[in-house]
Amino acid sequence: METKILIVDDDVHIRSLLANFMEKKGYRADLAENVNSALEFMEKNEYDIILTDKNMPDQEGNLEGGMTVLRYAKDHAPATEVIMITGYATIETAVEAMRLGAFDYVMKPISLNELEEKIERVLEYRRFVNSEDTIKTYRTLHNQLLKVLENREDLPEDRLRQIIKTLGARIDNVFGMQKDYETIIQSQADALERIEGYIEGLEETIPKDSPYYALIDKIRGECKKRI
């Protein structure tokens, strides 16, 4: 299924940069030049991800219009994940955005490699069996880790960003193990479903007085345990 992304930024150069990037990666992107345009797009379309600048004016004159977009998305499109773009490299900004429901954030100047990692993380987490719980847990863990770093004024900005990136990768590893477990369970479920299809034939083939006939009920019971 085609990934649909809404890009919201009042800087035409950033919109162009991101639009070209999305096209190369095979994502379908709509471009909104301001908050009003973004809300109109969201009223008419459904998106997998919204990538919005935090610092741009909204219709009320609020200079953090990205937060308006985020709140609207959480109220009207809860299945859509928001990645916040911020030009101010502060942990406080990241914590504020994620507390309001953002999945993640990216700082300017935008690293396209880093942005791709964050987009792929959203898409991968949405493939989980319990994707809603997985995303909620990721957001909570990431937010808590950011809070721990809020008061680390002794660390330079580039060091903080590297720590945050490393912590995000470690969270991914934890969920990667969960994904491997889900894959195994799903494979078992698929196998049991195929076996269940043979039960009727076994009942017709195996005599009822055969000691093997009792295994049929046991097989049927195991098949009912699948996901």
Assess if residue 116 is contained within a domain: yes
* 187 has a pLDDT exceeding 60: no
Co-location of 25 and 78 in the same domain: yes
Q: What is the mean pLDDT of residues 50-69?
A: 89
Co-location of 129 and 201 in the same domain: no
Strands 49-53 and 81-86: parallel
- What residues contact residue 65 under an 8 Å CB cut-off, 6+ apart? 34, 35, 53, 54, 55, 56, 57, 58
Q: What is the pLDDT of residue 152?
A: 67
Q: What is the pLDDT of residue 138?
A: 82
Co-location of 34 and 104 in the same domain: yes
pLDDT interval class at 195 (50, 70, 90): low
Separation CA 132–CA 125 (nearest Å): 8
User: What pTM does this model have?
Assistant: 0.71
Co-location of 9 and 113 in the same domain: yes
Separation CA 26–CA 4 (nearest Å): 10
Assess if residue 27 is contained within a domain: yes
Assess if residue 170 is contained within a domain: no
Q: Which one is predicted more confidently, 90 or 18?
A: 18
Least confident span in 16-30, 92-106, 165-179: 165-179
Whether 82 and 69 have beta carbons less than 8 Å apart is answered as yes
pLDDT interval class at 74 (50, 70, 90): very high
From 127, 151, 175, give the residue that closes a domain.
151
Q: From residue 26, give the alpha-carbon distance in Å to each of 19, 21, 29.
A: 11, 9, 9
Separation CA 42–CA 60 (nearest Å): 18
Q: Which range of residues forms the domain containing residue 204?
A: 183-223
Assess if residue 217 is contained within a domain: yes
Q: What is the pLDDT of residue 69?
A: 95
Co-location of 193 and 144 in the same domain: no
Co-location of 59 and 139 in the same domain: yes
pLDDT interval class at 201 (50, 70, 90): low
From 151, 168, 195, give the residue that closes a domain.
151
Co-location of 123 and 59 in the same domain: yes
Q: State CA 90 to chain mean position distance.
A: 23
Assess if residue 171 is contained within a domain: no
Co-location of 193 and 115 in the same domain: no
* 179-187: long-range contacts, CB 8 A cutoff, minimum separation 24: 179/124, 179/127, 179/128, 182/128, 182/129, 185/227, 186/129, 186/227
Q: What is the pLDDT of residue 227?
A: 46
Q: What CATH number should be reported for the domain holding residue 26?
A: 3.40.50.2300
**Per residue in 77-116, pLDDT tens?**
999 999 999 876 567 777 778 888 899 888 888 999 989 9
User: In the predicted model, what is the mean pLDDT of the chain?
Assistant: 81
Is the link from the previous residue into 57 a cis peptide, with omega within 30 of 0? no
Question: Where are the extended beta strands (E) located within 57-122?
Answer: 81-86, 104-107
Domain count, the chain: 2
Greatest alpha-carbon span in the chain: 82
Which residue do the tokens 């295994």 mark?
A: 215
Q: What is the pLDDT of residue 191?
A: 60
**Per residue in 105-161, pLDDT tens?**
888 889 999 899 899 989 988 887 778 888 888 888 877 777 777 666 676 767 767
| 14, 20, 23, 25: CA torsion to nearest 10 | -80
Assess if residue 144 is contained within a domain: yes
* 53 has a pLDDT exceeding 60: yes
Co-location of 71 and 130 in the same domain: yes
Co-location of 112 and 205 in the same domain: no
Assess if residue 167 is contained within a domain: no
